[in-house]
Amino acid sequence: MYNQPEEFVEAAAGTEYDPYSYSGYAQQEGDFEMHTGDPRQDLAYERQYEQTVPSYIIPEVIKNFIHFFHKCINEGNLFEVNNLYESSFNKLTERFFKNSPWPEAEHVAPVVDRDPLFVILYKELYYRHIYAKVTGGPTQEQRFESYYNYCNLFNYILNADGPVPLELPNQWLWDIIDEFIYQFQSFSQYRSKLIKKSEDEINVLRQSPKIWNVHSVLNVLHSLVDKSNINQQLEVYASEGDPDSVAGEFGRHPLYKMLGYFSLIGLLRLHSLLGDYYQGIKVLENIELNKKSVYSRVPACQITTYYYVGFAYMMMRRYQDAIRSFANILLYIQRTKQMFQTKSYQYDMIMKMNDQMYTLLTICLTLHPMRIDESVHSQLREKCGDKMLRMQKGDRQVFEDCFSFACPKFISPVAPNYDAPRNNLQKQPFTLQLKVFMEEVNQQIMIPTIRSFLKLYTTMPISKLATFLELNDDDFRNHLLCFKHKMKNLVWTKGTSGLEGEFQSASEVDFYIDQDMIHIADTKVARRYGDFFIRQIHKFEELRHNLKKGTSSS
C-alpha cells in the first residue's frame, strides 16, 4: 500500500499553495529502484548498479543476521529487535564493515523476500552507517538516495489509512528522527561548500532544490506531531489525565506516539540550528521539562533536549534557566554513564555533548555566578577551571573559543547562489550567532571585574570605587546599572511553557545604591563536608561489594 506515491501533506491540504510537498520526488517503482526523474542521476545510478551486481556475495553470517532481523521485525518481537539493533548490528559492523559500507539494499532484498518495508529500514541503517563510519563520507548521490529513503519511510507511516503494523524500539525511533535532522544539517553544510565541487555536482544541486529542502524537513516533523496528537496527549498527561483519551487512532499506537514526541525534540533542534531559539523552546510548551515522564526513557533524547534547551536559554540571557538545564542533565549523565559505555556508538556522541555542556555551563557561570550541584561543580573545575578564570579576567578569545567548540552546527535554510563566484559559505550562519553572542559578552565584559571589587567591601562610595577602576563617576554608575540589569534574568517558575518566567536575580554578589553609596551583599558559603563523606562512603561500599564478588567467584 505504501509504494503508491501519495501526498501526505496534511497541513497544506485545503489550500492550493503547496511548495512543501516532496512526495513527487520520492517516487518508488515496483522493485525498490527509485527513479529521480533526472536522467543524469538515473544513469549514474544504473552505472553503479551494473558495477557492483555480478561480483558481490553476502557473507553467510550477514545473511543469517538479516534473515533473523527481518523475521523479528515482522513478528513484532520488540525485545529481540532491540537487541539486534543496539548490539548485533554494531558488533557485525565492527567485524565486517568498520570503514566500508554494508551490502547494498539490492543484494539484501532477495534474502528478505523483497519485503519493501524491511528494505527501507535496512537502507536507513545502511546510509546512517555510511554517514558515520565510511571513509570519505557519503557521496552526493548517497545523500540524495538517503533522502528518498526517508521520504519513503515517512510516506509509508503517514499516508496509511490506519496505523501501520510496525513497532520499533524507542531508541531506534529516536535515532531515525535524530539522523534525519543530522543528515539535513550535513547536507545544508555540504551544499554551501562550493569550492571543491565539480561542475556536474553543482549542476545536479542546482536542479534539485527540493532535496533536503527545509520545508520538507519541517513538514515531516509537523506531520508526525499532528498525526500523533502528541501535543494534546502531553497536555492531558500534564494535568494527570489519560493521554489515550485524546490520542486518537494513530496516537495510541506506540510508533506514532513516540515519533510524535521525538519530532518535537527534532523541531527544537532544527529551530536552534536556524537561530530561532524562541520557536525552539516554544515547540516544547507542552513538555514538562523539570519532571521525569514516560516519554523521557531514551537517554540520547533526554540529553539532546537539555543541550538545546540550555543553549537556547543561554542565548536568551536566561542564565539561571540555562544553568539549571545543564546542571540537571550533567548530573544525570554522571550517574548513568556506565549504562552507555556498552553502546559505543552512543557513548561517543554523549561524551562529546557532555563536554560541550560543561563548556556552556562554564560560560553561563562566568556571566552569572551561582551555586550548583557540588559533584557537577567539581567536574567543571577539573575540565574547565582554567577557561573560567580567563573568561572572568575578560579574555574575549576564550569566550569565542568556548562558544565555537560548544555551539550547535548552525545552518542556512536556503541554498547558496550557485551562479555567484564559488566560495565556502557554510560558516556564515555560525559567524552570525557567534557575533550576537560576543556582542552580549562585550556588553557584560566589565561585570566580573566589578564583581571582584564589590566582593571586598560591604559599603563603598561610587566615586571611590570609580577611581579604583579608573573610570569617571558617570561611566561607572552606568556599569553598575548594567550589572543590575544583566543579572536580573527571566526565570522559569511554574507551568509547562519554558518561555514563561519571572524576573529574578540569584547572583552571588548583589548590591544596591543609596544615593552615592553602594551597599554590597555577598553570599558566604560554609564548607560542605557531608556531601564529600557521603560520596566517599558510597565509593567504599562499592569497592567492598566488588571485592566480595571477586572472592566469592574465584
Partner 1 sequence: MAENMRRSVSNLMRGIDRYNPENLGTLERYVELQSKENAYDLEANLAVLKLYQFNPMYFQLNVSAQILLKALTNLPHTDFVLCKCLIDDVHQGEDQIMKVLYLHDLLETCQFRKFWVSVPQSEVLMGIVGFEESIRKYICHVVGITYQHIDKSVLSELLGDASDDEIKMWMNKYGWTPKDGEKIFIANQEENVKPKNITEKIDFESVAGILATSAQ
Among 82, 83, 90, 505, binds partner 1 (CB under 8 A): 505
Among 226, 235, 400, 401, binds partner 1 (CB under 8 A): 226
Q: Does 530 bind partner 1 (CB under 8 A)?
A: yes
Q: Does 377 bind partner 1 (CB under 8 A)?
A: no
Q: Does 228 bind partner 1 (CB under 8 A)?
A: no
Directed axis angle between helix 116-133 and helix 140-158, to 10°? 140
Binding window for partner 1 (CB under 8 A); candidates: 55-63, 142-150, 329-337, 502-510:
502-510
Among 293, 337, 541, 546, binds partner 1 (CB under 8 A): 541
CB of 283 to partner 1, least distance (A): 11
Q: Does 510 bind partner 1 (CB under 8 A)?
A: yes
Q: Does 436 bind partner 1 (CB under 8 A)?
A: yes
Cα–Cα distance, 309 to 118 (Å, whole number) = 35
CB of 222 to partner 1, least distance (A): 5
**To 5 degrees, how large is the angle CA 102–CA 103–CA 107?**
160
Nearer to partner 1, 93 or 216 (CB): 216
Cβ count within 10 A of residue 373: 15
Among 523, 546, 547, 549, binds partner 1 (CB under 8 A): 523
Binding window for partner 1 (CB under 8 A); candidates: 9-17, 103-111, 155-163, 355-363:
9-17
Nearer to partner 1, 112 or 447 (CB): 447
Which 8-state DSSP code applies to residue 110?
A: G
Among 35, 133, 197, 215, binds partner 1 (CB under 8 A): 215
What H or E segment, with its residue span, contains residue 428? Answer: helix 428-444
Q: Is 412 in contact with 214 (CB distance < 8 Å)?
A: no
How far apart, in Å, are the Cα atoms of 548 and each of 14, 168, 473, 537?
A: 70, 40, 69, 16
Nearer to partner 1, 95 or 519 (CB): 519
Nearer to partner 1, 80 or 440 (CB): 440
Task: Give CB contacts under 8 A, 24+ apart, made by 341-346.
Answer: 343/86, 343/87, 343/90, 344/90, 345/90, 345/132, 346/299, 346/300
Cα–Cα distance, 310 to 320 (Å, whole number) = 10
> Please, which of residues 104-163 interact with partner 1 by CB under 8 A?
none
Q: Is 233 in contact with 247 (CB distance < 8 Å)?
A: yes
Among 99, 338, 515, 554, binds partner 1 (CB under 8 A): 515
CB of 523 to partner 1, least distance (A): 4
Nearer to partner 1, 234 or 316 (CB): 316
Q: Is 38 in contact with 162 (CB distance < 8 Å)?
A: no
**DSSP 3-state of 100:** coil
CB of 396 to partner 1, least distance (A): 16
Q: Does 439 bind partner 1 (CB under 8 A)?
A: yes
CB of 279 to partner 1, least distance (A): 7
Question: What type of residue sits at position 486?
Answer: K
Q: Does 526 bind partner 1 (CB under 8 A)?
A: yes
Sign of CA dihedral 472, 476, 477, 478: positive
Which 8-state DSSP code applies to residue 443?
A: H
CB of 514 to partner 1, least distance (A): 4
Torsion angles phi and psi, residue 273, rounded to 5: -60, -25
Nearer to partner 1, 38 or 226 (CB): 226
Nearer to partner 1, 297 or 485 (CB): 485
CB of 335 to partner 1, least distance (A): 13
Q: Does 529 bind partner 1 (CB under 8 A)?
A: yes
Cα–Cα distance, 116 to 124 (Å, whole number) = 13
Q: Does 335 bind partner 1 (CB under 8 A)?
A: no
Total length of the chain: 554
What H or E segment, with its residue span, contains residue 463? Answer: helix 462-468
Nearer to partner 1, 75 or 541 (CB): 541
Judged on CB neighbours under 10 Å (0-12, 13-18, 19+), 543 is exposed
Binding window for partner 1 (CB under 8 A); candidates: 101-109, 179-187, 218-226, 240-248:
218-226
Binding window for partner 1 (CB under 8 A); candidates: 42-50, 109-117, 155-163, 314-322:
314-322
Q: Does 490 bind partner 1 (CB under 8 A)?
A: yes
> Please, which of residues 243-282 interact with partner 1 by CB under 8 A?
274-279, 282
Q: Does 331 bind partner 1 (CB under 8 A)?
A: no
CB of 501 to partner 1, least distance (A): 10
Cα–Cα distance, 302 to 300 (Å, whole number) = 5
Q: Is 409 in contact with 430 (CB distance < 8 Å)?
A: yes
Nearer to partner 1, 8 or 306 (CB): 8
Binding window for partner 1 (CB under 8 A); candidates: 49-57, 74-82, 331-339, 427-435:
427-435
Cα–Cα distance, 486 to 340 (Å, whole number) = 39
User: Among 434, 426, 368, which residue's Cα sits nearest to residue 399?
Assistant: 434
| Residue ranges in 229-318 assigned as alpha helix (H) | 230-238, 244-251, 254-273, 277-282, 299-315
Q: Does 191 bind partner 1 (CB under 8 A)?
A: no
Applying CB under 8 A, the site for partner 1 has a residue count of: 71
Q: Does 497 bind partner 1 (CB under 8 A)?
A: no
User: Among 93, 69, 91, which residue's Cα sits nearest to residue 81?
Assistant: 69
Nearer to partner 1, 153 or 509 (CB): 509
Q: Does 232 bind partner 1 (CB under 8 A)?
A: no
Nearer to partner 1, 297 or 545 (CB): 545
Q: Does 468 bind partner 1 (CB under 8 A)?
A: no
Q: Is 89 in contact with 73 (CB distance < 8 Å)?
A: no
